[in-house]
Amino acid sequence: MEHEPGMGYGLPGRHESFWMETAPETSYPLMPGNLETDVAVVGGGIAGITTAVLLKQAGYTVAVIEGDRICRGVTGHTTAKVTALHRLIYHHLIDRFGSGQANQYADANQAAIETIASFVERYDIPCDFVRKPAYTYAESEESRDPVAAEADAARSLGLPATFVDDIPLPVRTYGAVILENQAQFHPLKYLLRLASLIPGDGSHIFETTRALEVLDDRDRCMVRTEQGTVTARSVVLATHYPFYDGPGFYYARMEPSRSYVLGIRTGEPFPDGMFINAERPAHSWRSQPASGGELVLVTGLGHRTGENVDTREHYRRLEEYARTVYPVRSVDYRWSAQDYITIDGVPYIGPLAAGHENVYIATGFHKWGMTNGTAAAMILTDMIRGRTNPWAEVYAPDRFKPAASVRRFLVHNIEVAEKYVGGAISRPSGDLRDVLPGEGRVLMIEGEKTGVFRDREGRVHAVNPTCTHMGCVTAWNSAEETWDCPCHGSRYSADGRVIHGPAVKGLRPRGG
């Protein structure tokens, strides 16, 4: 789970995802011991739940294995835009992948919207699903031409895109691309209803059951968990980041990114649409029906997970920005989200690696998980059924496009080697006496690097700050009060408990 209550004194709003606060909690059982199934799906977010539903509808037995509670990880912290307009993606895809594969990406995301819409209609899901136009807008004269080029690129792929000079959001703009007939919804209300379709007839959902290892001998796969082993013909890793990498080297091909969300009440109605700027830092806007009136979600200020900065400043800066656009009456919610970005900007969906054709992966959704996660479920279901999927090529995990990714690959891995593995970002500093209540810091204590957090009552929590995934040194996240790994995005509570993989083991305690 991504949230620990009662943190960030002095920050605006309640530290809680609106989606999680306004959806019922689940109580699916622990896995009772060893079992067999057709497909084991590891991860209970949008990709995992949707995959399990589609496979069960195709006649397979499935077991969903979730280390915490379903839908309460990354999916519970999304902004839940259901759109194929992903900032300026299509000009990039045509340039680097070619029109054919760019068209696959566009078709997959458009099909995902319609799949979600069909589920909502078929099962009469009360999840605030509503059609909205999506906008990517230019905030500077320099961005106008790239935004216009994106409209041309999207339209060349058959998307209903148009370039417009003005948008209804009260920001200064130099034009925008608009994609009509997109959507937004309440992701947890949607997914919890889908999840209810899974148990029964030999299929299961198991919560608080952490997967530890995947064994693949080609004829059958086994997922070893804390409660027992699941034997299956196929395994789907829908854990956001694959806790089992195998020979895929995904740790060298993705980077973790955090961004921030405020749920605000404004003094005026929000316009019809979903909005995101083309520049950096990114700022995204959408509205949401809520008790007490419309809630407006403003998102942005993404950065690499585990940067050794005061992350509380991101919430403050986001509030300052929101107040330049709207008269903010109140800030009701705040939360942060984590995403993974591949080196070429396109998710990895398909077989894990050569020789592991029965283990499938869905990761690297680049902050667009509602459609990419749904498309992943459709692609993987086809693959497991032995069917050809028309979009599989662009998402293939074994792709390597030098023009699209080689520079980013080198920059990413040099940065990891030089700055994070050795702990340069989290270099020990100061003395235990300098650590104030509510503060965390990496110190050198009795010759050992030690992660220290002093809670509000003055108690000291001390851990070995070395990430148990691949040995990078974690950094303190002041806004969430967690230890975050900058290499691959593992996150731990103040006392070392795993709250976000790929790590499956907690940080070791220091001292007594």
DSSP assignment, residue 30? Answer: P
Say how many C-beta atoms besides its own lie within 10 A of residue 398's C-beta. Answer: 11
Say how many C-beta atoms besides its own lie within 10 A of residue 259's C-beta. Answer: 21
Q: Which residue has the tokens 């942005």?
A: 300
What's the average model confidence in pLDDT over 398-420? 54
Q: How far apart are CA 365 and CA 55, in angstroms?
A: 21
Q: How far apart are CA 471 and CA 490, in angstroms?
A: 11
440 is a domain residue: yes
Among 13-17, 160-164, 169-173, 485-489, which stretch is predicted with the lowest mean pLDDT? Answer: 485-489
Q: 4 falls in which pLDDT band (50, 70, 90)?
A: very low
The 3-state DSSP class for residue 192 equals: helix
Say how many C-beta atoms besides its own lie within 10 A of residue 7's C-beta. Answer: 19
pLDDT value of residue 439: 86
What rounded mean pLDDT belongs to the chain? 90
- Has residue 424 got a pLDDT over 50? no
For residues 167, 147, 86, 383, the Cα torsion angle rounded to the nearest 10 degrees is 140
> How many domains does the chain contain in total?
1
Say how many C-beta atoms besides its own lie within 10 A of residue 118's C-beta. Answer: 10
Q: How far apart are CA 318 and CA 312, in angstroms?
A: 10
Give per-residue pLDDT as tens, 56-79: 999 999 999 999 999 999 999 999
Tell me the CATH number at 449. 2.102.10.10
484 is a domain residue: yes
Beta strands 211-216; 221-225: pairing state? antiparallel
* Tokens read off for 32: 């009772």
Which of the pair, 423 or 51, is modelled with greater confidence?
Answer: 51
DSSP assignment, residue 96? Answer: H
Q: How far apart are CA 291 and CA 298, in angstroms?
A: 18
Q: What single letter denotes the amino acid at residue 461? A: H
pLDDT value of residue 210: 94
467 is a domain residue: yes
Q: How far apart are CA 214 and CA 191, in angstroms?
A: 26
Q: How far apart are CA 474 and CA 486, in angstroms?
A: 7
472 is a domain residue: yes
199 is a domain residue: no
Task: Find out whether 351 and 383 touch, Cβ atoms under 8 Å.
Answer: yes
Q: How far apart are CA 239 and CA 469, in angstroms?
A: 14
108 is a domain residue: no
411 is a domain residue: no
Q: 11 falls in which pLDDT band (50, 70, 90)?
A: confident
List the domain range (segments joined by +) for residue 452.
432-500
Rounded to two decimals, the pTM is 0.91
What are the φ and ψ backbone dihedral angles of 339, each rounded to 5 degrees?
-135, 165
What are the φ and ψ backbone dihedral angles of 249, each rounded to 5 degrees?
55, 40
pLDDT value of residue 249: 75
What's the average model confidence in pLDDT over 204-230? 94
- Has residue 395 got a pLDDT over 80? yes
Q: Which of 393, 478, 35, 93 is nearest to 222 (CA)?
A: 35
Give per-residue pLDDT as tens, 265-322: 998 999 999 999 999 999 999 999 999 999 999 999 888 888 867 888 999 999 999 9
304 is a domain residue: no
- Has residue 5 got a pLDDT over 80? no
- Has residue 410 got a pLDDT over 50? no
Q: Which of 382-386, 439-443, 484-488 has the highest mean pLDDT?
A: 382-386
